[in-house]
Structure 1
Amino acid sequence: MIIIIIIISTTTTTTTTTTTTTTTTTTTTTTTT
């Protein structure tokens, strides 16, 4: 199982394989099993 969470903020762009908590404007979640 591969879980990719991409969080794009006005000040931060974060790509991680875990969860990231931040203030976001856009959240994209891709889950591949």
Structure 2
Amino acid sequence: AQHLHLLAAETYKEFERTYIPEDQRYTNKNSQAA
């Protein structure tokens, strides 16, 4: 199960990298952390 979860996380990261602009993703991370 953990391997599948890891694979899903990697796939999601690729999806994020492809579809979300670098600056927008950075802003989203900051607002979530705040």
The structure carrying a bigger helix percent of its residues is 2
Instruction: Please confirm whether the aligned pair reaches a TM-score higher than 0.5, indicating the same fold.
Output: no
Bigger Rg, which one: 2
The structure carrying a bigger strand percent of its residues is 1
Q: Shorter-normalised TM-score: what interval?
A: under 0.3
Q: Tell me the TM-score normalized by structure 2.
A: 0.16
- Answer 1 or 2: higher relative contact order, Cα 8 Å, separation at least 6: 1
Q: Tell me the TM-score normalized by structure 1.
A: 0.16
